[in-house]
Amino acid sequence: MSKSIICYINQFFAGVGGEEKAGIEPYIVEGTLGPTMAIDKAMAKADAHVTYTVVCGDNFMGSNTDEAVARIIDMIKDKPMDAFVAGPAFQAGRYTVACGAICKAVQEHFHVPAVTSFNVETPGVDMYKKDVIIFKGGNSAAKMRKDVPAMCKYLCKVLNGEPTLGADAEGYFARGMRKEVFLENKHENTAAFRGVDMLRKKIKGEPYQTELIIPEKDVVPIADPIADLSKANIALVTTGGIVPVDNPDRIQSASATRWGRYDISGLDALPNRAANGYKTIHAGYDPAAADADPNVCVPLDAMRAYEKEGKIGKLHPYFYSTVGTGTTEGEAARMAAEIIPFLKEDGVDGIIVGST
């Protein structure tokens, strides 16, 4: 008997629309839709087919996660399902979180395998890699042809009852789980032999892999508190994409590699888009509120009030802006390193980072 796969995609890949449709509530359609056609084809080796596709807007899932998950679970509870596939979600921040959340819930409720695929730079990886099989995916939909086969090859093995390999061999993110296996060379089954073998390779400068990988963490020391705010120089930074209406620095709406520095001396508040002032170019949230009042992301109005009341010493005469959605850690670190000299030059004591 043919096996049944249920898939999950967002509003964009369902062809409903982009950011303007990100608030769409969950619904289900029979059969394939958009990228699930590729999943259906790739699952043929396990005699499995996509029987239903669930769609939900990224904003709705992000803002109403419990409700969205509960409604989707209710939609599929009476449907035949041997496995569940979400995405692939590439480097889309909210989409990866949504895929992780629904995969985790499906596994817990129905005890069927669930897989998805994210780029390493997305928040969904750290949030869900211990709970869900997440394959290491590309950074854009152009990588679909590689990401879908990787997920489905593994899932076919599972549905066919074939043995699977470890995270590195299969291509998914390690989950911190260890499984005991017996090696063909009986000597290698002893820890002493393997330990000496690794030591010999290390001494000779040969590549080797420890069996207990300790993940490296980029830990940033917590800064000392500001002793007296009434004398402090405070700066404003945002990842909410607030820019002059003409976006002079051409900051990208996602996966940003650029940032801007904008003069706020003499302003008590940021004028909005209608006043030919500032707007948001961020593609990761509904821009209406920020376009109407950019001070919700860059709280210049509140900080000016504090400055006049003497709660802070002064406000740095510029604010700095970029876009956080899809931006890699490497690019974020580079941009921060470029911004910091300006702050140091003016003797900034503290920074308020406004987001979305």
Q: How confident is the model at residue 99 (pLDDT cuts 50, 70, 90)?
A: very high
Condensed to tens digits (0 to 9), the pLDDT of residues 122-147 reads 878 888 888 999 999 988 888 888 99
Residue 135 bridge partners (DSSP): 117, 172
* Residue at 165: amino acid letter: L
User: Is 19 in contact with 254 (CB distance < 8 Å)?
Assistant: no
- Residue 212 confidence (pLDDT) above 80: no
- The 3-state DSSP class for residue 312 equals coil
pLDDT score of 215: 67
Percent of the chain clearing pLDDT 90 (strictly above): 64
- Residue 163 confidence (pLDDT) above 90: no
Q: Which DSSP letter does residue 46 get?
A: G
- Residue 187 confidence (pLDDT) above 70: no
**Distance between CA atoms of residues 160 and 317, nearest Å:** 64
- Residue 91 confidence (pLDDT) above 80: yes
pLDDT score of 305: 96
191, 193, 194, 200 alpha-carbon torsion, rounded to 10°: 140
Average pLDDT over residues 151-157: 94
Percent of the chain clearing pLDDT 70 (strictly above): 96
**Distance between CA atoms of residues 10 and 53, nearest Å:** 10
pLDDT score of 210: 81
pLDDT score of 182: 67
Asked which of 178-192, 213-227, 337-351 is least confident by mean pLDDT, the reply is 178-192
Sign, CA torsion 262/264/267/269: positive
* Residue at 281: amino acid letter: I
Q: What are phi and psi of 79, to 5 degrees?
A: -95, 145
User: Is 55 in contact with 24 (CB distance < 8 Å)?
Assistant: yes
Asked which of 73-82, 175-184, 212-221 is least confident by mean pLDDT, the reply is 175-184
- Residue 107 confidence (pLDDT) above 80: yes
User: Is 41 in contact with 151 (CB distance < 8 Å)?
Assistant: no
**Distance between CA atoms of residues 37 and 28, nearest Å:** 15
- Residue 181 confidence (pLDDT) above 70: no
User: Is 264 in contact with 315 (CB distance < 8 Å)?
Assistant: yes
Which tokens sit at 93?
């921040």
Condensed to tens digits (0 to 9), the pLDDT of residues 288-326 reads 999 999 999 999 999 999 999 999 999 999 999 999 887
* Residue at 319: amino acid letter: F
- Residue 356 confidence (pLDDT) above 80: no
Which tokens sit at 281?
């170019």
- The pLDDT mean for the chain works out to 90
Average pLDDT over residues 14-29: 91
Condensed to tens digits (0 to 9), the pLDDT of residues 218-260 reads 778 888 999 999 999 999 999 999 999 999 999 988 778 899 9
Q: Which residues are CB-neighbours of 267 under 8 A, at least 6 positions away?
A: 300, 304
